[in-house]
Amino acid sequence: MPSFPTPRLALAGAFAFLLVGQPVPRSSLDLAGMDKSCPPCQDFHRYANGRFLDANPVPPQYSTWGRIEAMAQSNREKLRVILEQAAANRSAPKGSPEERIGAFYAACMDTARQDALGLQPLAPEIKRIAAVRDRAGLSAAILRLSQLGVSAPILMAARQDRKNPAEVIADFDGLGLSLSDRDDYFRKDERSASVRAALVDYIVRAFRLMGIDAATSEARARAVFHLETAFAGAMLTRVQLRDPYARYHRMELRALEQIAPGFDWGRFGRAARLKPGSAVNVAQPEFFKAFDRELRNTPLDVWKAYLTWRLVDSFASSLGKAFAAEHFRFRDGVLRGTREMPPQWQRCVVQTDQVLGEALGQVYVARHFPPEGKRKVLELVENLRAALDEELASSKWLSETTRAAARAKLKAFTPKIGYPERWRDYSRVKVDRRSLVRSLISAAEAEWARTTAKIGRPVDRLEWRMSPPTVNAYYSPLGNEIVFPAGILQPPMFSLDAGDAQNYGAIGSVIGHEMVHGFDDEGSKFSASGALENWWTAGDRRKFEERAACVAGQFDSFDVDGLRHNGKLVTGEAMGDLGGLTIAYRAYRRSLRGKPEPPVVDGLTGDQRFFLAFAQLWGRNHRPEALRLRLLTDPHPIAKYRANGTLQNMPEFHRAFGCKRGDPMVRPPEQTCRLW
Ligand SMILES: [Zn+2]
């Protein structure tokens, strides 16, 4: 039994985790974590979470801390047990999930070996870049980095064609920035300037660790930053990227050659099994023009420094203490305010999940995801679907044409619960117990092979984009599917022992949230078959845009510790929260039809427990750096506003707690946002 690290201890007493199969609790809500001195109609988030938040400051190894982080941490502890056993078991059958994850975890945990090896396992890759003598060599080096999963600055993915989702094509995009957002390169405020300076400093330190002299390191770091700035200038903003039409530019590979003739697309195409006539999507053509300009104008030495930097930064946390410390200092420290590096086991659990998630997931679900959990969640999903269908059927503003199309889309949703029906094949991944970096390189090469093999083949409907232990969920507009990994189907999100009020308020609101993504600012542009095509009448679309703008305006208006959300950036997620909680509530009430009103438990009615379970999910503290970063880059609103912003719009909530017009938790009727 592993000892619990500090974060878990910080939580003890404030919140009880429930395990499936334990005796029925009186209530799995965190009653002790509430702040009953704060009236619920004043600030419901505080009422629901106040004492929990006071008792749970962000631990030094984190940038945010709250109930969902605690769930993820408790999950990592379960994964740690699995991985330690797998690593110790030297007789697991060759090629079995246990053998693979055990070897990888062992390689990751062997920090003495990583310290001793340092940069050495990456040396062949670094030499390859150093040997570049001309533009043709440069193309080859960029291709090689793509095969290692390092975007410098281009990356190819295999994606369904947005207008013909039955077809899988290559999708080219520009990434390759070291800061979190293209805007970070241009913002005028002091904090942004200091983050940019810290990035240059990090690049200098990385070059110094590679044995490059101080003056050269300085000069190269500045040149790398300058090159990234040129790329950033040609990229779309996060808000622009929310429009799927803005990212859709289907063409033949040979047309991309005309946009960026300075790059050897023929070589890239051969490696990716593409022909000059193969269909590709170019997400941001303007970016590829800038890429081409820089290929022609930026000196070869600067390009080589940039590629080396991108490579080393990508692998830094696996290159021994010195590199890992610099990586942490900038990526977690400067950007997010994290004080201490998490323990190695924790980082290795995360890395094993990233690299071999479905092998780890196989063992994880066998131990921690009982089949009755899957059945119960599926039942909730169907109840939520029925509730959303009622919303659509009774909406007063939808025309019959749009209504029918929306209901057909909802009917076509595919739910995926817990874990994939077919596990991913990792046989190409050569895990080397003696070298973490070599294992990572092999995993990246296997991923490249998997990606290129998908192009031109039928869509794999059984594929998952999150691993089973992940504490998260997603909606895929192209697959028109909602996906809930086993990791999120645990207390306090979901428990077989929790009452319906709590399950509907917690996991129900999450299921509803994912469903509503099918109808948010972005998802609403995709049809039931997953195609990017308009199924709205012009009038309905206008009314829909007004509703989306209402939500954007609401989130623009919040003062978040002196900062603001970008309403347009968070519209889709905020719509998901509002629509999701609305249908979860409707589904909860439907489940009570023909039954007596649920009893008052712990002084709370069923409806009150429903809303409390929802708001408690969003009990979370942030470091100021993390708060700012999220406001600038995260399409999700800050936790407190996910709770309060949503509830302010819901008369069902106001009734449950007796909130009146004029209370802060009540939006005036003329400003109330509603989706249907
Ligand atoms: Zn979402």
**pLDDT 10s digits, 352-375:** 999 999 999 999 999 999 989 999
User: How do residues 497-529 score in pLDDT, each as one tens digit?
Assistant: 899 999 999 999 999 999 999 999 999 999 999
Q: Give pLDDT, residue 15.
A: 31
Cα 392 to ligand 1 centroid, rounded to whole Å: 20
Query: From ligand 1's centre to the CA of 7, what distance in Å?
Result: 26
Cα–ligand 1 centroid distance for 336 (angstroms): 22
**Span from the CA of 473 to the centroid of ligand 1 (angstroms):** 8
DSSP 5: P
Cα 99 to middle of ligand 1, angstroms: 35
- Token code pair at residue 511: 């299921």
Beta carbons of 635 and 238 less than 8 angstroms apart:
yes
How far away, in angstroms, is 477 Cα from ligand 1 center? 12
Measured in angstroms, how far is the CA atom of residue 514 from the centroid of ligand 1? 6
Distance 520 CA to ligand 1 centre (A): 10
Distance 636 CA to ligand 1 centre (A): 7
562 Cα to the center of ligand 1, angstroms: 25
Span 632-656, pLDDT tens digits: 999 999 999 999 999 999 999 999 9
CB atoms closer than 10 angstroms to residue 596: 6
Task: Report the pLDDT averaged over residues 243-266.
Answer: 97
Residue 291 has pLDDT above 80, yes or no: yes
Q: How remote is the CA of residue 14 from the centroid of ligand 1, in Å?
A: 28
Ligand 1 centroid vs 108 CA: distance in angstroms?
32
Q: Give the Å distance between the CA of 474 and the centre of ligand 1.
A: 7
The CA-atom distances, in angstroms, between 616 and each of 161, 460, 493 are 39, 37, 10
Distances (CA, A) of 540 to 264, 390, 396, 413: 46, 18, 11, 22
pLDDT at 28: 77
**What residue ranges do the domains of the chain occupy?**
136-318, 379-413+494-671
Give the Å distance between the CA of 565 and the centre of ligand 1.
16
| pLDDT at 327 > cutoff 80 | yes
Instruction: Report the separation in Å between the CA atom of 573 and the middle of ligand 1, taken as the mean of its atom positions.
Output: 5
Distance 525 CA to ligand 1 centre (A): 16
The predicted structure's pLDDT at residue 9:
29
Q: What is the pLDDT of residue 50?
A: 98
Tell me, in angstroms, the distance from the centre of ligand 1 to residue 633's CA: 14
How much distance in Å is there from the Cα of 323 to the middle of ligand 1? 34
Instruction: Give 164-202 pLDDT, tens digit per residue.
Output: 999 999 999 999 999 999 999 999 999 999 999 999 999
Output the average pLDDT for the chain: 94
Average pLDDT over residues 548-574: 97
CA gap 605, 499 in Å, rounded: 12
* Cα 512 to averaged position of ligand 1 atoms, centre (Å): 10
**What's the gap in Å between 298 CA and the centre of ligand 1?**
40
CA of 632 to the centre of ligand 1 (A): 17
In CATH, what number does 379-413+494-671 get? 3.40.390.10
Is the confidence at residue 14, as pLDDT, over 90?
Answer: no
pLDDT band at residue 117 under the 50/70/90 scheme: very high
How many whole angstroms from 301 Cα to the centroid of ligand 1? 42
Looking at residue 131, its pLDDT comes to: 98
Upper half-sphere CA count for residue 255 (Cβ side, 13 Å): 12
Number of residues assigned to the chain = 676
CA of 507 to the centre of ligand 1 (A): 13
Of 3.40.640.10, 1.10.1380.10, 3.30.70.120, 1.20.140.10, the CATH number of 136-318 is: 1.10.1380.10
Residue 5: other Cβ atoms inside 10 A: 18
State the distance from the centre of ligand 1 to the C-alpha of 642, rounded, in angstroms: 11
> What's the CA-to-centroid distance between 610 and ligand 1, angstroms?
20
* Nearest CA-CA partner of 665 in 618, 610, 652, 576: 652
Cα distance between the two ends of the chain? 50
Find the 281 Cα to ligand 1 centroid distance in Å.
Answer: 25
What pLDDT does 27 receive? 56
Residues 6+ apart with CB under 8 A from 579: 388, 391, 512, 513, 515, 516, 519, 520, 675, 676
Q: Measure 581 CA to ligand 1 centroid, in angstroms.
A: 12
Could you tell me the distance, in angstroms and rounded to a whole number, from the CA of residue 440 to the centre of ligand 1? 30
d(CA 265, CA 256): 8
Distance 305 CA to ligand 1 centre (A): 38
Tokens matching residue 146: 């793509």
C-alpha of residue 493 to centroid of ligand 1, in Å: 15
Interior CA angle at 541 toward 536 and 546, to 5°? 160
Residue 634 C-alpha to ligand 1 middle, in angstroms?
Answer: 11
Cα-to-centroid distance, 416 and ligand 1 (Å): 16
Kindly give the distance from the C-alpha atom of residue 484 to the centroid of ligand 1, in angstroms, as a whole number. 12
Sign of CA pseudo-dihedral 96, 98, 101, 103: negative
Q: How far is the CA of 442 from the centre of ligand 1 (A)?
A: 32
d(CA 362, CA 403): 40
How far is ligand 1, taken at its centre, from the CA of residue 17, in Å?
Answer: 25
pLDDT at 96: 96
Sign of CA dihedral 48, 51, 54, 56: negative
pLDDT at 71: 95
pLDDT tens figures, 26-73: 457 999 999 999 999 999 999 999 999 999 999 999 999 999 999 999
**What kind and span of H or E run contains 416?**
strand 414-418
CA–CA gap between residue 332 and residue 350 (Å, rounded)? 15
Q: What is the pLDDT of residues 402-456, one digit of tens each?
A: 999 999 999 999 999 999 999 999 999 999 999 999 999 999 999 999 999 999 9
CA of residue 517 to ligand 1 center, whole Å: 7
Task: Produce one character per residue of 407-440: b if its CB has 16 or more CB atoms within 10 Å, e if not.
Answer: bebbeebebbbbbbeeebebeebebbbebbbbbb
DSSP at 38:
S
Tell me the CA–centroid distance for residue 576 and ligand 1, in Å. 6
Token pair recorded at residue 92: 């697991």
Distance 394 CA to ligand 1 centre (A): 24
Distance 472 CA to ligand 1 centre (A): 9
In three-state secondary structure terms, 65 is strand
HEC sequence for 162-231? CCCCCEEEEEEEECCCCCCCHHHHCCCCHHHHHHHHHHHHHHHHHHHHCCCCHHHHHHHHHHHHHHHHHH
329 C-alpha to center of ligand 1: Å? 30
Could you tell me the distance, in angstroms and rounded to a whole number, from the CA of residue 480 to the centre of ligand 1? 14
If you measure from the C-alpha of residue 254 to the centroid of ligand 1, how many angstroms do you get, rounded to a whole number? 36
Evaluate whether 224 touches 203 at the Cβ level (below 8 Å): yes
ipTM of the modeled complex: 0.99
Instruction: State the average pLDDT over residues 444-469.
Output: 97
What distance in angstroms lies between residue 618's CA and the mean position of ligand 1's atoms?
A: 14
pLDDT of residue 10: 30
pLDDT at residue 7 is higher than 60? no
CA 513 to ligand 1 center in whole angstroms: 6
pLDDT category at 23 given cuts 50, 70, 90 is very low
